Chain A
Amino acid sequence: DTAVSQTPKYLVTQMGNDKSIKCEQNLGHDTMYWYKQDSKKFLKIMFSYNNKELIINETVPNRFSPKSPDKAHLNLHINSLELGDSAVYFCASSQGRSGMAFFGQGTRLTVV
């Protein structure tokens, strides 16, 4: 009955690799997000996607690309991984742009 699910939960990979994190929500929400939480536990929004409209945070490198095959999925693809990409990535969804957001459990990415 998980509302927002992310896979994998842990991801360890070498620098330079390309990886994807998947996110699915079964809440029927129309808006999904990706957040990054760094080692200091500081959360930053990366992307939001509302009814096929992608809002890109300008501070996110273009190595990060979200892909939304449908309203219930928003995957995050990362090219040429760097050490600084190591963080916990959270997916979230909400109904409407101002609705209460429900978060996934997070994906801990470690780049070595």
Chain B
Amino acid sequence: KNQVEQSPQSLIILEGKNCTLQCNYTVSPFSNLRWYKQDTGRGPVSLTIMTFSENTKSNRRYTATLDADTKQSSLHITASQLSDSASYICVVSAGYQKVTFGTGTKLQVIP
């Protein structure tokens, strides 16, 4: 069964600190992995897309890593800001039709 598990479920960090969110998946065959940021009451916004051959991708203060062998991905946020408070969702695609969403990590950045 295709599954995407994210950890931690929730996280509180001080503004300016770094943090890392984890995503483990059992989706097969692997097509791509995406990280989304979803602010409360808004639609998800894409942060990164990674395919099998990519193991690091950055988008401003967000850096995603992918280890296709261990089926793990991480999202590292550098120098967090209050506006980073949101849910971060890992999504793994197996081909076109099978898209599996993780349950997300709720991040709260406090001053």
Number of A-B residue pairs at CB separation under 8 A:
44
Among the listed stretches A12-20, A61-69, A70-78, A92-100, which one makes contact with chain B, having 4 or more residues with CB under 8 Å of it?
A92-100
Binding site for A on B (CB under 8 A): 31-32, 34, 41-46, 49, 87, 89, 91, 93, 96-97, 99, 101, 103-104
Query: Which residues from A are CB-within-8-Å of B99?
Result: 45
The answer to whether A111 has its CB under 8 Å from any CB of chain B is no
Contacts A55-B96, A57-B97, A104-B43 supplied; 4 other A-B pairs, CB < 8 Å? A41-B103, A98-B32, A101-B46, A106-B43
Among the interface residues A44, A57, A100, A105, which one has the most CB atoms of the partner chain B within 10 A? Answer: A100
Complex Cα–Cα for A44 and B91 (A)? 10
Q: How far is the CB of B62 from chain A (nearest CB, A)?
A: 14
Identify the closest chain B residue to A55 (Cβ): B97
Pick from B31, B89, B91: contact of A98, CB under 8 Å: B31
Determine if A42 and B101 form an interchain contact, defined as CB atoms under 8 angstroms apart.
yes
Q: With A90-B43, A100-B49, A106-B43 as given contacts, are A41 and B104 in contact (CB-CB < 8 Å)?
A: yes
B residues less than 8 Å from A34 (CB atoms): none
Chain A's closest residue to B104 (CB) is A41
**A72 to B87 Cα, complex, angstroms:** 28
A43 touches B101 (CB 8 A): yes
Indicate if the CB atoms of A105 and B43 lie closer than 8 Å.
Answer: yes
A98-B49 contact, Cβ under 8 Å, with A55-B96, A105-B42 = yes
Docked-complex contact B89 and A43, CB < 8 angstroms: yes
CA distance A41 to B9 in the complex (A): 12
Min CB–CB distance B66 → chain A (angstroms): 15
Among B42, B49, B97, the residue within 8 A (CB) of A106 is: B42
Residues of B within 8 A of A55 (CB): 96-97
Residues of A with C-beta under 8 A to B87 = 41
> Which residues of A have CB within 8 Å of B45?
102-103
Roughly how many angstroms separate A98 CA and B32 CA in the complex, as a whole number?
Answer: 8
> 27 interchain pairs (CB within 8 A)?
A41-B103, A41-B104, A42-B103, A43-B44, A43-B101, A48-B96, A55-B96, A55-B97, A57-B97, A90-B43, A92-B43, A98-B32, A98-B49, A98-B93, A100-B34, A100-B49, A101-B34, A101-B44, A101-B46, A102-B45, A102-B46, A103-B43, A104-B43, A105-B42, A106-B41, A106-B42, A106-B43
